[in-house]
Amino acid sequence: MWHYLDNASSVDGAPRGTVLAVHGNPTWSFLWRSVLAAGAGAGWRVVAVDQLEMGLSERTGAHHRLADRVAQLGELTDQLGLSGPDWDGREVVTLGHDWGGIVSAGWAIDHPRELAGVTLTNTALHQPPGHAIPLLLRLVRHRKVHEGATTRTPAFLETALALAKGLDPDERTAYRVPYRTAADRHGVGGFVEDIPATRAHPSHAELERIATGVTELSVPTLLMWGPRDPVFYERYLHDLMARFPHADVHRFEGAGHLLPEDADISSTIVRWLESTFETPTTTAHARAGAVSAGDGQAGGTAPFRPVHAALEDLGAEGTDTAGTTAVVALGGDGLTELSWGDLSRRVHHLAHGLADSGVAAGDRVALVIPPGVDLTTALFACLRLGAVVVLADAGLGLRGLTRAVRGAYPDHVLAIEKALVAASALRWPGQKFVVVPAGHEAGYTPPRTAHSRRRTFGIAGSMRELLARGATLADEGAELPPEPGPDDDAAILFTSGSTGPAKGVVHTHRGLAGMRDVVGSTYGLSPDRPFVAGFAPFALLGTALGATSATPDMDVMAPSSLTAPALADAAGAIDAHAVFASPSALANVVRTAADLTDTQRGALAQVQLLLSAGAPITSDRLTRALETMPNASAHTPYGMTEVLPVTDIALEDIRDAEDDAAGRSVQGAGNGSCVGRPVPGAHVEVVPLDDDGAATGEPTTEAGVTGEVLVSAPHLKDRYDRLWATQEHSATWPGWHRTGDVGHLDAAGRLWIEGRLAHVIVTPSGVVTPVGLENAVVAVPLVTRAAVVGVGPAGTQRVAVVVETDRDVHRGARARPGLAPEGLTRAVRQACAPAGVAAVLRVPEIPTDVRHNSKVERARVAQWADRFLAGERPGRL
């Protein structure tokens, strides 16, 4: 006798289809309660079964093998009319978790007539040869542990529940209801025993049949995954992706084994069902967006020119440019310099060496190398091969870096030794090659130690060896594979992670080329205009433009470590025309300007262009930065990993915009940071906010309307990597990208950024955005950084201002966090008068993102302020 949950009575009208949901071990149909509710609201029938001996289904004491369970499920669906002779013609989408994933997949391949789609959460359909089953399963299958853990006691059930991070006591109790006694748990133990760990196991043949059979399925497929799973490792997801190469994939960062409890999978399933099985409607705005995204590209209809083309042109033997400087890197070991000819040869040799080591077109190659000669060489070698570069930089921090690498799941890793030590400890995937910093090769390590390290950390070779092997192959006349096409994947870049886990952003070769072209045309960069890159992405774009670039001596994990002398030394090394840096880096340049020598001041005086990128910057701070580069024109581009740049503005135009805001002479001017007008080919609109602070309106260009910023451009990302739901949301309007930023356009066509959508404050009197207020607060004497946040429940939030004061001036700047002094509080409240500030708090340091040291982590600040004002002692931020 089966027990199952069925929402058919809650579906309004005839169901659009049926979702057949199958639980795993030791859960039951209660696992799918949110899917049942969401499915009914979307018009989909959901049937969630309790497998025999499990949940509230009958206990017979029988032992069911995998093949039995697949056949039994088919018999049940025949009885329900979902299959068999009484099938009503409505197609079925399977949904499975854990062992329910295998059983549902078996049903899917046995019912091709009825099958419309497949959805799977954390599960495995195959045990890779040479790999043991997961440790937890090995432990619970051990003869001395198995019965006691699974049947005699609820230990296995309690361990499973402990893996879920969000269960409340009532939900935990509900999961325990069917498994109160040892007799109730007979099926739990039987399921564990039926895991086919070896080829000799009775269920191995059926598992092989299912694993092979699903490769023939061509129906739409959605794979949803919780990466923090100690049972099903990431390799099982990638096995599923290989078996379903057409599948949509969404990884829920932070979620684990009991994914339906850790994340809102029901909304993702409903959106996927709607987008996959319903006829999409295309609005006039969507059609316009799709057209404008391909219109006005820098370069017009010029033929596609890959990003590595400049190396081949400038580094070709016999050219005047081959001997000129391409890349300069300054560090603790002095200056490293390569000519265009040297760089071109290194790239060519490394490409040969990588290809000889098994790196093929389409393979993913993670580069964990500090900016400089080695990173530039590796990047362009991979691009030439058609390998997909995974740029997970150290600026994400170790945890963020590991999460990014695991998410991208590279086939190969080129990294400095420090990163490979972490890679070994944290189980990064991929064939690994060590990169020894330039200048260290000769005295790296004795051969015996090197061999020992290679074995310990799983290192297949070094970049030096790849270069040497590549040089031999080139001398022998070996040819590289054909160049990649313009629409092939080129790179996976990562967002800063300032509002959640960093997201992988996929750019094609055409997209990277478009980014290069728009940066070049907007800022007039060319081979005869060298620049200093204190902001890593621009160093790589500069090489693609054929411009000489220098990276200063600084800690790439801390952009604010850039000093004025280090910047000046880099500028002097190449007679820099331009400087790129983040606001935090420029702030430290201003702080350390007194340390400049006359020669260093002269080097900075030659700079003609200053670009501040990575976060908004006020005109006052940009003006102070220009005091160190008195002959430069200052610009601040606005953009993001998904599309860079979007807009641009010069300092003079920022001042004009601020004057317009002060004099109210231009409609919409003010309340935020003005980031200028769209660059060539880019288009900007705004999705208005509703009273709850959500972006729900129709896109508009009307002046003064605050909402989520919407962008269209030729160099827009191709997609998010393995984040189907995120990509679907970001492309609500086809051809456009929802940025997550909040802002507005003024009547002069300028964009003003007011903050992030996630940081909008919803008060009883309306919506408040933070950036305009923060700009006003940092203008208050003593204040160096500010965070405007909401405390309390949404809809009734009050505005709190958290400030960081100048340590050189304010005696109490380093004191414990607390209420701001009375005079400072009064000044801040006056600066934010329209918002009605409830509290002003002072902390020694406001946290910022790791990569830029510029973006305030408002969510973290808000949580701290909420606890502090509730009378708790939350400690330091």
Specify the range with the lowest mean pLDDT, choosing from 28-42, 280-294, 372-386, 454-468.
280-294
For residue 147, what pLDDT is reported?
86
The helix or strand, by DSSP H or E, that contains position 104, with its residue range, turns out to be: helix 99-110
Could you tell me the CATH number of the domain that includes residue 527? 3.40.50.12780
Other beta carbons less than 10 A from residue 860's beta carbon:
16
Residue 176 lies in a domain: yes
Q: Is the pTM of this model over 0.85?
A: yes
| Residue 691 and residue 785 in one domain | no
Average pLDDT, the chain: 90
Look at the chain and report how many structural domains it folds into. Answer: 4
Is pLDDT at 175 greater than 80 in this prediction? Answer: yes
| Residue 607 and residue 530 in one domain | yes
Beta strands 737-745 and 707-712 are: antiparallel
Bigger pLDDT: 92 vs 332: 92
DSSP assigned state of 856: B
Rounded distance, CA 662 to CA 669, Å? 8
Residue 129 lies in a domain: yes
The percentage of residues in the chain with a pLDDT greater than 90, rounded to a whole number, is: 72
For residue 279, what pLDDT is reported?
62
Could you tell me the CATH number of the domain that includes residue 779? 3.30.300.30
Rounded distance, CA 819 to CA 822, Å? 9
Is pLDDT at 288 greater than 50 in this prediction? Answer: no
Is pLDDT at 57 greater than 70 in this prediction? Answer: yes
Q: Does the CA dihedral 129-134-138-141 come out positive or negative? A: negative
| Residue 313 and residue 407 in one domain | yes
| Residue 730 and residue 769 in one domain | no
The model's pLDDT over 764-781, given as tens digits with 9 standing for 90+, comes to 989 999 999 999 999 999
Is pLDDT at 577 greater than 90 in this prediction? Answer: yes
For residue 216, what pLDDT is reported?
97
Is pLDDT at 169 greater than 60 in this prediction? Answer: yes
The model's pLDDT over 643-674, given as tens digits with 9 standing for 90+, comes to 999 999 999 999 999 999 988 889 999 899 99
Whether omega for the bond prior to residue 821 falls within 30 degrees of 0, making it cis, is no
| Residue 780 and residue 744 in one domain | no
| Residue 338 and residue 395 in one domain | yes
Instruction: Tell me which residue range forms the domain holding 735.
Output: 662-754
Tokens at 503, concatenated: 């997201």
Rounded distance, CA 30 to CA 50, Å? 9
| Residue 501 and residue 625 in one domain | yes
| Residue 703 and residue 772 in one domain | no
For residue 536, what pLDDT is reported?
66
Tokens at 621, concatenated: 């701070």
Specify the range with the lowest mean pLDDT, choosing from 49-53, 77-81, 406-410.
406-410
Could you tell me the CATH number of the domain that includes residue 238? 3.40.50.1820
| Cα–Cα separations (whole angstroms), residue 237 to 404, 406, 720 | 15, 11, 17
DSSP string, 39-73: HHHTT-EEEEEE-TTSTTS--------HHHHHHHH
| Residue 73 and residue 143 in one domain | yes
Is pLDDT at 564 greater than 80 in this prediction? Answer: yes
pLDDT (mean) for 160-189: 94
Residue 291 lies in a domain: no
Query: Tokens 């987008």 label which residue?
Result: 275
Residue 282 lies in a domain: no
Residue 589 lies in a domain: yes
| Residue 200 and residue 272 in one domain | yes
| Phi, psi (rounded to 5 degrees) for 752 | -115, 125
The helix or strand, by DSSP H or E, that contains position 144, with its residue range, turns out to be: none
Residue 656 lies in a domain: no
Residue 657 lies in a domain: no
| Residue 265 and residue 386 in one domain | no
Beta strands 737-745 and 751-756 are: antiparallel
Could you tell me the CATH number of the domain that includes residue 750? 2.30.38.10
Q: Percent helix, strand and coil across the chain, each rounded to 5?
A: 40, 20, 40
Rounded distance, CA 540 to CA 370, Å? 12
| 3-state secondary structure string across 650-693 | EHHHHHHHHHHHHHCCCCCCCCCEEEEEECCCCEEEEEEECCCC
pLDDT (mean) for 27-53: 97
| Residue 434 and residue 552 in one domain | yes
Rounded distance, CA 836 to CA 801, Å? 11
The model's pLDDT over 58-90, given as tens digits with 9 standing for 90+, comes to 998 899 999 999 999 999 999 999 999 989 888
Residue 395 lies in a domain: yes
